[in-house]
Amino acid sequence: MTELLTAAQMRAIEQAAIASGEVTGLELMERAGKGVVEAIFEEWPELKATSHRAVVLCGPGNNGGDGFVVARLLKEWGWAVEVFLYGDPERLPPDARVNYERWRGMGEVGALTTRRPLPLLKADIMIDALFGTGLARPLEGFERLFSDIYEAQNNIFSGIHSPNLGAVVAVDILSGTCADSGRLLAKGDYDPVRADLTVTFHCRKIGHVLSETWSEKTVVADIGLKRWHRLLPWREIVMEIRKPTGQSLLKFDADHKYAHGHALILSGPPGHTGAARLAARGALRIGAGLVTVGAPPEAIPEHAAQLNAIMLHPVSDGADLTDTLADPRITALCLGPGLGLDERARGLVAAALASPSDLAPGPTRGPEASGAPEGRGPGSGPGREKRPATVLDADALTLLARDPALFAALHKNCILTPHAGEFARLFPDIAEKLAAPATRGPAYSKVDATRAAAKRAGCVVLYKGPDTVIADPSGRCSINSAHYDRAAPWLATAGSGDVLSGFIAGLLARGFAPMQAAETAAWLHVECALAFGPGLIAEDLPEQLPAVFRKLGL
């Protein structure tokens, strides 16, 4: 896990460092500019060997000051550098003004205005230091400039020779992007500029990993602020999932299958059973000791033709499920994939969310029904004292959205896993706020939306997407970003969400807390997709887990 900051949190760290007297704002600006140049040379080593041409666009704030430092350092390296400033140099912040004057001792500064856009000059690198993470107002009048840059980039990407533009490097964040949400703060209809490289400072910001980010790669330059980072309230910090949490719980060192938990996956009727099998396979591969598919009796032959290690148990309706869940050895429940939207499905959701007092002991069904040793199968043994950890996905989410009573029955051991459409059905007002145009910063973000949804639902919400956001009711939040080096667009395939639900259920069965299970499953889900590569289908995902576990040393 690595930390992601808001613009305000980053400012607080910088201000604390400066207030300590151990570093000045001017020194931080110098370190930032040096970090950008070092990142450019690391990304393109050939640019370090000989002189090249750069165009540096500087804005009216400290981001522009960083740009002046970059220009000076490249000039000292022997490059031909042209610098343009948007704004009045007399109104630059003090540190940015110092670096403006330093550059003026080396070269000229052209004027950049919205009325007279920059002529796109030939350059190997264009440095975007116009507006950084502090941008809070929409950009107006930049449509022509950004459209010209975007067109030049498209010419390069499509193989058309363009003499005007090489790579675009953004300082801290692409201009016009809200650092807290990844959303464009702009008035006017134009395509956003893409950056080949973004160099940010100290930590990545939330906006770097949400889906409206348009940088091919983002790297972090250390500018010496680690000492002051710990002053931030830890619960307010959003985490990025870079490695799974709770690795010790993933180790397979128990001596009995029941020590690894028992996951029950509910199935829909005949002809709609595949999603439950995908989830069940995911739960089994991720390490649940036992996995049972609970299906209507008429669907059991369909399952039996394709399942071996996964057990089967008849679950006709909510009453059957209540009886089955009386067995405390069932440690996790997953329902929704292929479940249906009929009265049976609603009854199953109601039974799944029932209070512990409703889960009374039922008659022992015998080993032939469950495949478990006698006295250990579903429906046997003493009644349970708490509700099992429960994953609700797909059709179960639609039923929750339709029935306020079901939604009200959600409890802290639930995990909701909506995609964007399901999220809008469950939380229409929150989704509407998220979809509204971003006119001011900090703009309302997917992080804000998921936190609000988790608080309302009283349980963990995993809001799916290439920028999956996970939050619990306390406000703890993390992002599983499938961007940059973890981009896996082939994960957008039918059934992959069902497998993710199974992954979560399997980890819940093994004893993971809901937030930890959701975070770990989401990270492993992407790792499995990366391990397989293009051509992936949902059935491939669970089969990649052994290789991913070996890579982790488990």
Last residue of a domain, one of 196, 214, 240: 240
CATH code of the domain containing 113: 3.40.50.10260
| Domains: count for the chain | 2
Residues 264 and 227 in one domain: no
> Rounded to an integer, what distance in angstroms lies between the CA atom of residue 504 and that of residue 468?
14
pLDDT at 122: 72
Residue 159 pLDDT grade (very low, low, confident, very high; cuts 50, 70, 90)? very low
Quickly state the pLDDT bin for 484 (edges 50, 70, 90): confident
Q: What is the 3-state secondary structure (H, E, C) of 500-523?
A: HHHHHHHHHHCCCCHHHHHHHHHH
Q: Which domain holds residue 334?
A: 247-551
pLDDT in tens, 58-68: 999 999 999 99
The answer to whether residues 357 and 443 belong to one domain is yes
Structure tokens belonging to residue 337: 């994939």
Distance CA 372, CA 489 (A): 40
User: Is the same domain home to 210 and 251?
Assistant: no
**Domain match, 195 and 262 both:** no
Strand pairing partners for 126?
Answer: 55, 168
Average pLDDT over residues 14-25: 94
Residue 351 and residue 393 in one domain: yes
- What pLDDT, on the 0 to 100 scale, is given for residue 136? 81
Per residue in 133-149, pLDDT tens? 888 877 766 666 666 66
Upper half-sphere CA count for residue 250 (Cβ side, 13 Å): 23
Same domain, 425 and 449: yes
The answer to whether residues 388 and 333 touch, using CB atoms and an 8 Å cutoff, is: yes
What is the residue-averaged pLDDT of the chain?
A: 87
Whether residues 212 and 290 share a domain: the answer is no
Whether residue 342 is found in the same domain as residue 199: no
Claim to verify: residue 234 and residue 303 sit in the same structural domain: no
* pLDDT tens, position by position, 405-459: 999 999 999 999 999 999 999 999 999 999 998 888 899 999 999 999 999 999 9
Residues 6+ apart with CB under 8 A from 359: 322, 325, 326, 383, 384, 387
Same domain, 207 and 258: no
CATH number of residue 412's parent domain: 3.40.1190.20
**Are 280 and 183 found together in one domain?**
no
Q: Please say which residue of 192, 210, 240 terminates a domain.
A: 240
Q: At what angle do helices 25-43 and 62-76 cross, to 10 degrees?
A: 60
User: pLDDT digit string (tens) for 177-205?
Assistant: 899 999 888 665 656 667 889 999 999 99
Same domain, 158 and 229: yes
Q: What is the pLDDT of residues 502-519, one digit of tens each?
A: 999 999 999 999 999 999
* End residue of a domain, out of 240, 272, 296: 240
Longest dimension (CA), the chain: 89
Give yes or no for a contact between 371 and 341, defined as CB atoms under 8 angstroms apart.
no
